[in-house]
Chains A and B, each alone.
Chain A
Amino acid sequence: MTASRVTPWIAALVLLAAVIASLFLGRVNVSPVDLVQGMLSPNASLAGLVVTELRLPRAVLAILVGASLGLSGSVLQGLLRNPLAEPGLLGVGNGAALGAVLSIYYGLSTAFPLTTPLLGLVGAVLAGGLTFAFGGRSTLTLILAGSAVSGLTLAILALALNFAPNPYAGYEMNIWMLGSLSEKSWDHIALAAPFIVAGLAILATMGRAVDALSLGEVQATSLGIDLDRTRILALLGVGLSVGAATSVTGSIGFIGLVAPHLVRPFVGHQPSRTLLPSALLGAALLLAADIATRMINTESELRLGVVTSLVGAPFFFWLVVRLRKVAP
């Protein structure tokens, strides 16, 4: 069996190990026996409640969000032929954060809870649409337009922060943007999962297109790839999956950048082969980061987005150094 065939299985095993660890590790030390008994027992117990209503939904959400980020990063790096591409590059993550923040702080989510993920999605799709409308003609313009849209959404987010109804709301807005899986429940999963799964399904079909694009846009077109359709599908897939994920968890950076690079040495440089392992490893990385937020005992909760950034930023430096070495 070749390394490229084994890699998805290894990534799946790493993910499974992370899931098991996430069920047994938390801020409160509950004995594994109590947790297993709580899971299996039909009678409500505190240990059962902790595992079924807190740790399990948290793990499921981490898998969905991490897979969205990993798969989106992998597709975008292939589509844009840029090793630094990640979901944030198209502005969809910031767009989702903007939509969600507006719904929360101007009272819409109180009237109708679905408005937070829905507005998050609307924000993601609008930001992605804007990116495509301005930069959809070529890879370079798409990246530039994505940066412009990111800047614009960040500016509007800052404006929302500026006009927060009160200082407490401003504080909460800041904290929310640091990203977290804490206090998420099955309700959040029910709201976001349909969109995330739809986005993942779209992105999963893009293997052939990103393979063809690795040869260049002209060659891809000659191989029958409709570039406009491919870009629209990629934006839609990233918008749905990362948009829905961000609207529930807040902004989580670097997973989309790091996961494809970690699997690439094992599967070779055919972009389609990185898709599934990137999704699995993205999920495992996010779960591991979430476990770290629970285990590092701090007076204030260490936010998930902070952990992924602290770990991801050095990786970014490493990537730059590596690119400098291989660049002609």
Chain B
Amino acid sequence: MMARALRSLASGVAAAALALSQPAAAAPQRRPMHIMSMTLCADLLLLQLAPRDRIASVTYLAHDGAEALFPGADAGIAVNHGTAEDIIVERPDLILSDDFSSAVTRRLARRIGAPLVVVRDARTFEDIRKEVRLVGAAVGEPARAEALVARIDADLAALAAKPGRPPRRVVAWGGGDSVPGRDTLSDRIIEAAGAVNVAARPGLGYTSFDVEQLLMADPDAVLFGGGGVVKPSLRDDAGQHRAIRQRYAGRRIVFNDTAHTCGLPQSVRSALDLRRALDALPDRRPVR
């Protein structure tokens, strides 16, 4: 699993490097040269789409996410804390933010004449394509964006070409407080991997799904987030619950948090990794 994940990471990095080395044929005349990202998911798209020397700063959260997905990509890039004051200090010529940017941020962006591009949460692979193209166009690298979209399509085609075994039932679980249900990116990744998310219930996105519900739903495997932006926390403790250790020994699959949190080309790659991990799971007899 770990070796496959590393191979997957390596190929991801190679693809990103290839994308970055391609000439930007369709680039507009004037490209932003001092780009500032104020949100994690925009950071991770920006690092894959724009050359380092044109990135003014990324958020302080970007490093852990980048290390998990494409190590070293943020080396030497300044860090911001997503505040309006950072804009004054850096005077970027393009700002990437999200729906939650403050009124002050928007006003300051207007004042310094920097376009503010809103990168929205992705819940579907189509959303990811859209956001990749949006950021690619904003930073003046549409060709690189298309290269990443092509990679997404290739990975999805690979998933579709080889249908999985009878669908495995899984849940992405890190404690019962906030479990991805229907209409979440994690649900789409699980679905693309040919599995069924047992926490998916109509009308509910992230939902509570406690350990009792998990046990009684009796999934074939439990997916635990690892690496990325979420450091040691209570969910590690929840994942070590005796009942889960007992029932899911050898049936725990670790996924990359960042790829499930942000809509990235790596999110689709994460579905491929999940498919391989599920294919490697031994069959078991249901216990009632």
Contact = CB atoms under 8 A, between A and B. Distances in A.
Nearest to A54: B212
Nearest to A300: B208
Interface string B270-288: 0000000000000000011
13 contacts: A27-B213, A44-B287, A46-B215, A46-B216, A50-B212, A53-B241, A105-B232, A166-B64, A166-B230, A172-B234, A183-B210, A183-B241, A299-B204
Nearest to A303: B177
Given A50-B215, A301-B177, A169 B233 contact: yes
A187 B212 contact: no
A45 B247 CA distance: 10
Contacts of B175: 183
B218 A46 contact: yes
A45 B176 CA distance: 21
A110 interface: yes
Interface string A34-52: 0000000000111001100
B242 interface: yes
Contacts of B242: 53, 185-187
Given A53-B243, A183-B210, A169 B231 contact: yes
Interface string B170-181: 000001111000
A109 B237 contact: yes
A28 interface: yes
Contacts of A172: 233-235
A317 interface: no
Interface string B192-232: 00000000000010011011110110100000000001111
A182 to B, nearest CB: 5
Given A168-B230, A172-B235, A46 B287 contact: yes
Contact of B238 (A107, A109, A183, A300): A183
A301 B210 contact: yes
B29 interface: no
Contact of B212 (A26, A109, A113): A26
A168 B246 contact: no
B211 A46 contact: no
B61 interface: yes
Contacts of A300: 177-178, 207-208
A49 B211 contact: no
Most chain B C-beta atoms within 10 Å of own C-beta, residue among A50, A55, A110, A183: A183
Interface in A127-181: 165-169, 172, 175-176
Contact of A104 (B208, B233, B287): B233
A30 interface: yes
B126 interface: no
B90 interface: no
A175 B287 CA distance: 33
B177 A54 contact: no
A107 B236 CA distance: 11
A127 to B, nearest CB: 22
Given A50-B215, A187-B242, A301 B233 contact: no
Interface of A: 26-28, 30, 44-46, 49-50, 53-55, 104-105, 107, 109-110, 113, 116, 165-169, 172, 175-176, 182-183, 185-187, 298-301
A110 B215 contact: no
Contacts of A185: 241-243
Contacts of A165: 231
Contacts of B237: 104, 109, 113, 116
Interface string B238-253: 1011110011000000
Contact of B288 (A46, A182, A299): A46
Interface string B72-87: 0000000000000000
Q: Give 10 nearest A-B pairs by CB, closest first.
A: A53-B243, A110-B232, A28-B216, A301-B208, A185-B242, A107-B232, A183-B238, A165-B231, A185-B241, A183-B211
B212 A27 contact: yes
A28 B213 contact: yes
B246 A49 contact: yes
Interface string B30-71: 000000000000000000000000000000010010000000
A313 to B, nearest CB: 24
B234 A176 contact: yes
Most chain A C-beta atoms within 10 Å of own C-beta, residue among B64, B212, B238, B246: B212
Contacts of B213: 27-28
A14 to B, nearest CB: 24
Contacts of B238: 183
B266 to A, nearest CB: 19
B212 A28 contact: yes
A165 B234 CA distance: 13
Given A105-B233, A166-B231, A183-B175, 15 more contacts: A44-B246, A50-B215, A53-B242, A53-B243, A110-B236, A113-B240, A166-B64, A167-B61, A168-B229, A182-B176, A183-B211, A187-B242, A299-B207, A300-B178, A301-B210
Interface in B149-201: 175-178
B232 A182 contact: no
Contacts of B177: 175, 300-301
A121 to B, nearest CB: 17
Nearest to B217: A28
B168 to A, nearest CB: 18
Contacts of B207: 299-300
A113 B240 CA distance: 11
